[in-house]
Structure 1
Amino acid sequence: MGVERTLTIDRAKRFYDRMGARQDWNRFYEDPVVDVMIRHADFGHAHSVVEFGCGTGRLAERLLVSHLAPDARYLGLDASTTMASLARSRLKRFGDRAEIRQSDGSPRIEAPDGSFDRFVSTYVFDLLSRADIAAAMAEVYRVLAPGGLLCAVSLTHGRTRFSRCVSKTWQGIWSLSPATLGGCRPIELSEFIDTARFEISHL
């Protein structure tokens, strides 16, 4: 395996600080897959949700309005100062049901073991190095309560002729200039899931 060209934490933070609210423009390709994730996540029975990489808070708002129980609590984490600020403003109306923390960009989550029953992350693992994905997965195992669900979406390699072409093109651009695509590239997230600890219910 060649040298990884993933962005450093500082470069990724600067990129997403500049992007700001424009991140929501990605909804045209993100939402259909996120819709599938929501259908399988059983959020209606969740009591405590953490989102690793909450962005502008758009998904959190959707969950709090339409999918989570009134007594469920939400914690969103993001390394970007801009994203954390946008998410706080967006979720202010939910009061103490929702908390946003700006993280230091590391996979570490400041929470006790077994604190959450849903761990959500959309289009974040594909930004991380393989070592950081593995470290983040260790945190998933640690902070999820027994019976909890990992609800993750990432760029991946295509399964149809068209999607394989798109994926190959994306990978080629990323190989030349990761920052052009926000540092994200297609990955096989299932490679990082310990099947001795997790049962994959939908892929």
Structure 2
Amino acid sequence: MRTLTTEEARSYYDRFGAKQDSQAFYEDRALEALTEHAAFAEARSVFEFGCGTGRFALGLLQHRLPDTASYFGTDVSSTMVRLATRRLAPFAPRATVALVDGSPVLALKDASVDRFVSTYVFDLLPAPAQRQLVAEALRVLQPGGLLCLCGITPGVTASSRFVMGVWRWLFTRNPDWVGGCRPTSAEDYLPAEAWRIHYRTVVTAWGVASEVVIATPMSPSSSPDGGNGGAGFSQSRRASST
């Protein structure tokens, strides 16, 4: 299944620009679930892979993060970086944004952040890049830190199964028609032996299904089959719709 190249994705989102915020009609309910369960009030350092226009980051800085917390976001689109930088300017210098080349290898130190956030980006990445980025998250997260993901996923209700089926059909014909995004599941790229799932749900809005996953690196003493390991994917499943 062909995905957009980094250059194609950069070109698309450079053109799309501020229109990205129009996706709020289906994103906001899922992002609300993410913020409610990711304990951002306890965060000290947040990294966001694919910050877009900075809309989600602004909400965190205004309402969720402590005044002492730092935020660092990256994006491959120069348009998005410009929009996010302007939007987050009131929180500089503790909030910064940088343009990157799209590589899943991150220019971050080991164990340097306690929240690794990526919303509606993993569904854009090819499978190898998804797995490599998850490995990088393991490297840069501090002990007890949280991986916070949100993206479109296969439907769980009759309406969302239809809508997401059409979405996948469009993607297979031309990924550019849907911004390069396709329904994916974190279960495909989050190995149970490496991650403990704290929270997982599927939220549907206007037929669009979004998966929310919050996980922490598995400690060496944890059993992959015990606690909230692989089984955590089913314990907090929710399908809501509008």
Task: Identify the TM-score tier after normalising by the shorter chain.
Answer: over 0.9
Cross-structure match for 1:181: 178
Cross-structure match for 2:214: none
Q: What letter matches 1:56 in structure 2?
A: T
More helix by share: 1
CA RMSD of aligned residues (A): 0.7
Q: Secondary structure at the match of 1:96?
A: coil
Cross-structure match for 1:114: 111
Cross-structure match for 2:138: 141
Structure 1 gap ranges (5+): none
Q: Secondary structure at the match of 1:151?
A: strand
Give the Å deviation of 1:128.
Answer: 0.4
Cα deviation 1:162-190 (Å, max 9, x = unaligned): 11111111000000010011100000112
Q: What letter matches 1:85 in structure 2?
A: R
Q: How far apart, CA to CA, are the structure 2 residues paired with 1:142 and 1:168?
A: 35
Q: Please, which of 163, 173, 179 is the counterpart of residue 160 of structure 2?
A: 163
Give the Å deviation of 1:42.
Answer: 0.3
Q: How far apart, CA to CA, are the structure 2 residues paired with 1:177 and 1:191?
A: 23
Cα deviation 1:142-163 (Å, max 9, x = unaligned): 1100100011001101111111
Q: What letter matches 1:62 in structure 2?
A: G
Q: How far apart, CA to CA, are the structure 2 residues paired with 1:132 and 1:143?
A: 16
Q: What letter matches 2:87 in structure 1?
A: R
Q: Secondary structure at the match of 1:201?
A: strand
Cross-structure match for 1:129: 126
Q: Please, which of 188, 191, 199 is the counterpart of residue 188 of structure 2?
A: 191
Q: Please, which of 78, 82, 87 is the counterpart of residue 81 of structure 1?
A: 78
Identity of matched residues, %: 46
Structure 2 gap ranges (5+): 201-242
Give the Å deviation of 1:195.
Answer: 1.9
More strand by share: 2
Q: How far apart, CA to CA, are the structure 2 residues paired with 1:12 and 1:191?
A: 22
Q: What's the TM-score, normalizing by structure 2?
A: 0.82
Indicate whether 1:15 and 2:12 are aligned.
yes
Q: How far apart, CA to CA, are the structure 2 residues paired with 1:133 and 1:29?
A: 23
Indicate whether 1:153 and 2:178 are aligned.
no
Q: What's the TM-score, normalizing by structure 1?
A: 0.97
Q: What letter matches 1:12 in structure 2?
A: A
Cross-structure match for 2:25: 28
Q: Secondary structure at the match of 2:71?
A: strand
Q: What letter matches 2:11 in structure 1?
A: R
Q: How far apart, CA to CA, are the structure 2 residues paired with 1:15 and 1:66?
A: 31
